[in-house]
């Protein structure tokens, strides 16, 4: 949904140029409507080896939509406090689409169960570069990391909503 959503936003923006012009003339109506799309992506990845920073939890992954690779991610999480078997973490996840030099960064806070490997994180902000400037929304990451496997392989699902204001080209 990540790239398909961006493509839909671009097509919608191009198709709505005349609508934006006429909407701007209506009192009380924003000239830049916001379009939001649902996100559902699957992810496989693991620890980044060799570890570039031993003070962070470093991961890399492939992001897929309906089985097709649409992006890669790289993350460097700062571990927080542990409560029982749960370890808190926070930091950026940087998405790089396979067909673009743009990036989307989701800053997240979450926790991982150090016994089961189950984790969950929620974005606190989403920002883009290049063609993805102006993207906002909320992403939720849920998955499981194999804590016994040396590269700490993981699988997860990303859900949420990404939004963009339509803007003239």
Domain locations along the chain: 2-165
Residue bearing the bigger pLDDT, 9 or 163: 163
Cross-strand pairs, 61:
45, 73
Report the percent of the chain where pLDDT is more than 90.
63
Asked if pLDDT for residue 1 goes beyond 80, the answer is: no
* pLDDT tens sequence across 41-94: 999 998 877 777 878 888 999 999 999 999 999 999 999 989 999 999 999 999
Are 166 and 9 in contact by the 8 Å Cβ rule? The answer is: yes
Mean pLDDT, the chain, integer:
82
* pLDDT tens sequence across 95-111: 999 998 899 999 999 99
What SS3 class is residue 41? strand
Residue bearing the bigger pLDDT, 16 or 42: 42
Place of tokens 């990303």: 158
pLDDT in the model for residue 30? 55
Residue bearing the bigger pLDDT, 112 or 56: 112
Cβ neighbours around 49 below 10 Å, total:
11
Band (pLDDT 50/70/90 cuts) for residue 20 is very low
What CA–CA distance (Å, rounded) separates 112 from 38? Answer: 25
Mean pLDDT of the region 121-138: 94
* pLDDT tens sequence across 137-165: 999 999 999 988 777 899 999 999 999 98
- Note the CATH architecture for domain 2-165: Beta Barrel (2.40)
Band (pLDDT 50/70/90 cuts) for residue 23 is very low
pLDDT in the model for residue 22? 35
Helix (H) or strand (E) holding 160: strand 154-165
| Chain length of the chain | 169
Are 70 and 33 in contact by the 8 Å Cβ rule? The answer is: no
Are 153 and 44 in contact by the 8 Å Cβ rule? The answer is: yes
Asked if pLDDT for residue 4 goes beyond 90, the answer is: no
């Amino acid at each position: 949904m990540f790239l398909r959503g961006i493509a839909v936003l671009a097509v919608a923006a191009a198709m709505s140029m005349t609508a934006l012009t006429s909407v701007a003339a209506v009192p009380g109506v924003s000239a830049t409507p916001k379009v939001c799309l649902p996100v559902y992506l699957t992810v496989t990845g693991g620890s980044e080896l060799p570890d570039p920073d031993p003070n962070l939890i470093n991961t890399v992954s492939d992001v897929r939509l309906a089985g097709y690779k649409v992006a890669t991610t790289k993350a460097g999480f700062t571990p927080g406090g542990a409560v029982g078997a749960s370890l808190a973490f926070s930091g950026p996840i940087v998405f790089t689409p396979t067909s673009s030099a743009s990036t989307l960064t989701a800053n997240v806070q979450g926790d991982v169960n150090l016994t089961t490997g189950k984790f969950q994180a929620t974005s606190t902000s989403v920002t883009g570069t290049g063609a993805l400037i102006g993207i906002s929304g909320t992403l939720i990451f849920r998955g499981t990391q194999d804590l016994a496997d040396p590269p700490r392989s993981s699988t997860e699902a990303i859900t949420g909503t990404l939004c963009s204001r339509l803007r003239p080209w």
